[in-house]
Amino acid sequence: MKKIIGIIFTLILLLLSLLVVITPMSSDKQYLFGLSVMAVVFILGRVKSKKAVLAMLSLSVLMSTRYIWWRATTTLHFDSTVEMLLGSLLFAAEIYSWTILLLGYIQMAWPLERPIAPLPADKSIWPTVDIYVPSYNESLEVVRDTVLAAQCIEYPQDKVKVYILDDGKRDEFRDFAAEAGVGYITRPDNSHAKAGNLNHAMTITHGELICVFDCDHVATRVFLQATIGEFFRDDKLALIQTPHHFYSLDPFERNLTAAKRVPHEGALFYGPVQQGNDNWNATFFCGSCAVIRRSALNEVGGFAVETVTEDAHTALKLQRRGWNTAFLDIPLAAGLATERLALHVNQRIRWARGMTQIFRIDNPLLGRGLKLTQRICYLNAMLHFQYGLPRVVFLTSPLVFMLFNLNIISSSATLIFAYVLPHLVLSTMVNSRITGRYRYAFWGEIYETVMAYHLILPTLLSLISPRLGKFNVTDKGDLTDRDYFDSHTVRPLIITTLLMVGSMIWVGVRYFMHDYAGIDPRVILFNIAWGTFSTIILLASIAVAKETKQIRKTIRIYARLPVTVLFSDGSKMQTRTFDISMGGARVALVKGEDMSHKTPVQIELGLGGEIAHVPIRAAGTGVGDLRLEFDTVALSERRKLVRVVLSRADAWYRPPHAPDRPLVSFMGILQCVYELFFGRKKTVSGFNSQMSAVANKQEEVNNAL
């Protein structure tokens, strides 16, 4: 009986929703209705409950669907073929955005916050693990600490083996592997790039589980203990993925002051998206920082080689065979972000091409083995990377009216605004509520605008011929000794901005010359407002190309660690670090300590009873601090230093960002525009104080551990 009542209630709700979607209204009534729904959503946003979030999602979908229905049934009337083509392109872009909005809501509506599954007390039944560190053209400076960090992982030594998979076939890597005491594997060719490298290693090694780290990802000492327990809890678990955390700044964070205060670009994916995927058993393998069951891989023929995104494709194949996947939202390893904007763009092009290839070759909507929700999660990921053309359409659509007097939305400006306002405002409010600690409002526009023009051709070609293209390795560890403006990468954005600004000036001149007789002034105002917003987004995106100098060979980590400084006269100073890297440290000067006749010669850092003794090459004093540059150390001491600096259990802990405030977020976008023309302030005190707070919190976590 309850089931029948539930079905009837659901049908009634669907019928009422349909009536809301299709009922036409005048502009005044639509304004009143839209503002009423926005008020309800605003109130629901203050309620801390899951039901309130679901209600907000439902109302957002309802109003966005109402807007799309109105556009489809009322505004697609054109006076010329050109207007029809351009108007249809804009409407197709809106359909795309509505689809992504709907799929994203389904994907992220029920994020799963998975706890750590404990390992059995009997270590004899713990599985054996092969740790793979694949490399192709990266320098030994990048790979070395990854390997040493893998050796620091706390796991029975007879059950874990570390291997360098060297597709570059370099003697220095072979020698390092021998000195470090890890395995070294190479192969006669480089077929299928990274996937082929991993598959070749599988034929030589025999661990029950395979753990993969990209060659710049350093693991914490608890990585395996935090992840492997899940394999005991679930016999059908094939994969557990952890976030890709980066301890260096990406181009947005480095080149935009405001970006240092917001969640980084990947936070949304390695947060609500993967947590949502986990709830639907659709976690994506991301190529690194993951543990995979060998028997599951053998069942699907190893790592997928058909596309350039072997990671996501491998997960899809596993899930088609009925294997489970999991996501643990705890940063247990960290790597290097792309150093320059051009490298960042190339990496995203490869991801977009690979996901498009999967869509063509192994479409998740087709074939057996997947549940509907799994198909939705994969479909959303693959459609997401098609945003290039829709983003360009949204940015440039005002030009159609301002340059050519073409009308691609057949409606009054008042009615357009009445319908589009609740659609845009509600989607912003709801996304701010469900993803606000992981992606601030308007920053998604910046990330996508930077990439938009670059993605159009690769994704279209992959749709037409998915076999085109090859795997491109993303360079890591690059340095740049000067500030410069990467005009090549943002050239399309510059051209679009010049057209937009010139068009708005031209419209203003024509308006005051009374050249718009018979045209509603509100139509002119609507297009200028749209063009102004597009210009702000374009200028903020162009600002990312102001590359700043990067000459530090090692990345500093903000951490409060106890340290002993030894001086040439035999005296010692017990203190704490402000920050530390593999190349040096900044430590606090003890009050009253006279440094005028003292020379630091060595520091001692300890973790878990193991002390690293690091000689000092050079030193200098600042205001209340002592700045030390480390000298070269033996491999055994460097391993200890890696354990202290990079492999601490709390090394990559970060407190969550404050909830999103859309208006404040937009002010950050305006700050990016200001800095494009007037430059950045030299001080980074705000960022340093933020990192100091992180270090203090890390100390609390470390003490608790």
Residue count (the chain): 705
Is 278 annotated in the active site?
no
Task: Give the residue from 269, 249, 402, 256 showing the smallest Cα distance to 339.
Answer: 249
Tokens of 100: 């992504």
Task: Give the residue from 69, 38, 41, 35 showing the smallest Cα distance to 54.
Answer: 41
Is 189 annotated in the active site?
no
Q: Which of 311, 362, 475, 579 is catalytic?
A: 311
Can you tell me the distance from the alpha carbon of 149 to that of 141, in angstroms, rounded to the nearest whole number?
13
Can you tell me the distance from the alpha carbon of 144 to that of 135, in angstroms, rounded to the nearest whole number?
11
Can you tell me the distance from the alpha carbon of 238 to that of 318, in angstroms, rounded to the nearest whole number?
7
- Contact indicator for 265, 250 with CB cutoff of 8 Å: yes
CA distance from start to end of the chain: 53
Q: Measure CA 217 to chain center.
A: 15
Strand-strand pairing, 160-166 and 183-185: parallel
Q: State the amino acid at position 489 in one-letter form.
A: T
Can you tell me the distance from the alpha carbon of 334 to that of 336, in angstroms, rounded to the nearest whole number?
7
Helix 341-361 vs helix 310-320: crossing angle, to nearest 10: 30
- Contact indicator for 289, 243 with CB cutoff of 8 Å: yes
> Which residue do the tokens 């609507």 mark?
526
Strand-strand pairing, 209-212 and 183-185: unpaired
Can you tell me the distance from the alpha carbon of 516 to that of 489, in angstroms, rounded to the nearest whole number?
37
- Contact indicator for 394, 538 with CB cutoff of 8 Å: no
Residue 111 phi/psi, 5-degree rounding, is -65, 140
Q: Which of 130, 145, 166, 167 is catalytic?
A: 167
Residue 262 phi/psi, 5-degree rounding, is -115, 160
Can you tell me the distance from the alpha carbon of 177 to that of 183, in angstroms, rounded to the nearest whole number?
6
Torsion-angle region of 80 (φ positive above 0: left; ψ -120 to 50: alpha; else: beta)? beta
Torsion-angle region of 153 (φ positive above 0: left; ψ -120 to 50: alpha; else: beta)? beta
Beta strands in 308-379 (DSSP E): 324-327, 333-335
- Contact indicator for 186, 166 with CB cutoff of 8 Å: yes
Q: State the amino acid at position 346 in one-letter form.
A: N
Tokens of 361: 């070759």
Q: Measure CA 416 to chain center.
A: 34
List, in order, residues 6 or more apart from 346 with CB less than 8 Å away.
472, 474
Tokens of 433: 């509520």
Query: Which are the catalytic amino acids?
Result: 167, 311
